[in-house]
């Protein structure tokens, strides 16, 4: 009997240690759910990467007939510099958003989920001719996201439009 109790206590102790290690790993941002940063991100020939076939990605450069992936671009009457600065401020004002790269009229950010540390990649590029801030937001792992990427883009849109009232158009 005592042996079983000691074995159970040892298992609990090992479980607690593993749980603590996982908690500390998540706290510093290292999780097995982060995935690898995609190597196809960025602007190529004036366009962001195409949305993947999975439903956990939205893009303003997707085919508008593709209602699962398409999202309206953010219409903006200001300069590319102002548009990207507004996008950067919007990202930095949101929980768990981190700007990774900002070059000219391109901005790349990562958003990490609070509990499991899943990472979503969010990109912006400003099209001066169309006066549109294009956006792409995609989960790195899995297939579904319960609408998180679409909701995030709409939250970013609201923050950008609130900052530049009168300079955005619908």
User: Higher-confidence residue: 47 or 16?
Assistant: 47
Instruction: Average the pLDDT over 125-146 and give the result.
Output: 95
Shared domain check, 118 and 158: yes
Shared domain check, 9 and 83: no
Shared domain check, 148 and 109: yes
User: Would you place residue 62 in the very low, low, confident or very high pLDDT band (cuts 50, 70, 90)?
Assistant: very high
Shared domain check, 131 and 84: yes
Shared domain check, 70 and 99: yes
* Distance separating alpha carbons of residues 78 and 71, to the nearest angstrom: 21
Structural domain includes residue 155: yes
* Distance separating alpha carbons of residues 50 and 46, to the nearest angstrom: 12
Range of the domain at 154: 34-163
- Counting the structural domains of the chain, the total is 2
Shared domain check, 96 and 19: no
Shared domain check, 84 and 22: no
What are the tens digits of pLDDT across the range 70-107? 999 999 888 999 999 999 999 999 999 999 999 999 99
Shared domain check, 54 and 87: yes
Shared domain check, 113 and 60: yes
pLDDT at 19 over 60: no
Shared domain check, 50 and 3: no
pLDDT at 46 over 60: yes
Shared domain check, 117 and 65: yes
Residues 41/125, Cβ–Cβ less than 8 Å: no
Structural domain includes residue 98: yes
Q: What percent of the chain is predicted at pLDDT more than 70?
A: 79
Shared domain check, 52 and 14: no
How would you class 85 by CB atoms within 10 Å of its CB: exposed for 0-12, middle for 13-18, buried for 19 or more?
A: middle
* Distance separating alpha carbons of residues 16 and 59, to the nearest angstrom: 42
pLDDT score recorded for residue 33: 86
Task: CATH number of the domain at 128, please.
Answer: 3.30.310.80
């Amino acid at each position: 009997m005592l042996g079983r109790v000691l074995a159970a206590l040892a298992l609990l102790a090992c479980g607690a240690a593993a749980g603590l290690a996982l908690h500390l790993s998540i706290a510093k941002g290292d999780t097995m759910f982060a995935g690898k940063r995609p190597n196809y991100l960025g602007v190529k020939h004036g366009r962001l990467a195409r949305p993947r076939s999975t439903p956990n990605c939205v893009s303003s450069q997707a085919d508008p007939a593709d209602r699962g992936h398409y999202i309206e671009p953010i219409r903006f009457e200001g300069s590319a510099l102002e548009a990207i600065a507004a996008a950067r401020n919007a990202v930095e004002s949101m929980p768990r958003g981190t700007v990774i790269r900002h070059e000219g009229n391109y901005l790349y950010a990562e958003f990490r989920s609070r509990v499991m540390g899943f990472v979503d990649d969010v990109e912006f590029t400003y099209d001066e001719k169309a006066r549109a801030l294009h956006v792409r937001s995609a989960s790195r792992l899995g297939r579904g996201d319960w609408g998180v990427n679409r909701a995030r883009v709409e939250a970013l849109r609201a923050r950008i439009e609130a900052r530049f009232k009168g300079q955005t158009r619908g």
